[in-house]
Amino acid sequence: MAVATQPREPAGVDENGSAGKPARGTRPVSGGASGDSAVNVFSHTVLIGWSILVMIPFLWALVASTKTSREIFGDPWALPASPQWSNFSSAWDKGVGDYLLNSLIVVSGGVLLTMLLGSMTAYVLARYEFRGNRFIYYLFAAGMMFPVFLAIVPLFFVVQNLGMLSTYHGLILVYVAYSLPFTVFFMHSFFRTLPTSVAEAAIMDGASHTGVFFRVMLPMAKPGLLSIAIFNVLGQWNQFVLPAFLSPEKPVLAQGIATLLASQRYEGDWGALFAALTVAMVPVVVVYLVFYRQVQAGLTGGTLK
């Protein structure tokens, strides 16, 4: 048996079709705005607190690098009576210059080779279908979960048998192997967001697969390349475990600072130690401040396309 029902008038419209009062039982939504503002206040409070926690030690180390050892231990939070710029020359004389040069050579070679091999591998895995594609991709993804401490002993004997202990090229190859999994994982997702029509048009115009990659797709992936390059620079610049075992005769900056810290028990030149810390921190901070917009664009590029 059919039941006749009377159509209900829409909310806010009377029987004559004119706008009237809101329908009974409806309330204006006002909780969304207050909830969003509460989330914004909480997130900004957390970010401001985190920024303070990060900036205070950094600024304190910068100030301490221009103070004497007596001033550092006498009043750690006071400004120096007279800036001791000689702390930097003292740190340089203690070998910081050689440590810095070793770090620059190893990190430059490691990052360039990592970006070249990582981007090529990620492009092939993202744009070409072949047997074993997903298996190779998952192997790289699994490499991010493998801690370097578990491989340090066999890695030492491998590098030793190859005659590459305490060499630039030996440490560069290890850095590349250490950084490739995350690079491939990141760039794989980025290459998948690039339009296929552009590559197809280049191939129809006579470009080879190599030409399409280097002349078309790689320039389009510039934001992602800059983002992952910054991460690789930070990771390789701050690396301590790998060079400590694999390059004892050519120490990098992290090893040199650890050596200076151990020597302060007998020398007491704490100003030179903080000057060495400043030399280690400032370059990576400057690199990030210069490219931070590109890093943000690369991290959000995959979600916006």
Query: Which residues are registered as beta bridge partners of 13?
Result: 19
- Between 148 and 175, whose confidence is greater? 175
Average pLDDT over residues 97-114: 94
Supply the pLDDT for residue 10: 47
Average pLDDT over residues 42-56: 89
Query: Which residues are registered as beta bridge partners of 19?
Result: 13
Query: Using an 8 Å Cβ cutoff, are 26 and 239 in contact?
Result: no
State the Cα–Cα distance between residues 25 and 23, nearest whole angstrom: 6
State the Cα–Cα distance between residues 70 and 67, nearest whole angstrom: 8
pTM confidence score: 0.78
Q: 9-18, 87-96, 116-125, 227-236: which has the minimum mean pLDDT?
A: 9-18
Check pLDDT > 90 for residue 288.
Answer: no
Q: Which CATH number fits domain 95-263+283-304: 1.10.1740.10, 1.10.3720.10, 3.40.1410.10, 1.20.120.1200?
A: 1.10.3720.10
State the Cα–Cα distance between residues 65 and 201, nearest whole angstrom: 57
Provide the pLDDT confidence category of residue 6 given band limits of 50, 70 and 90. very low
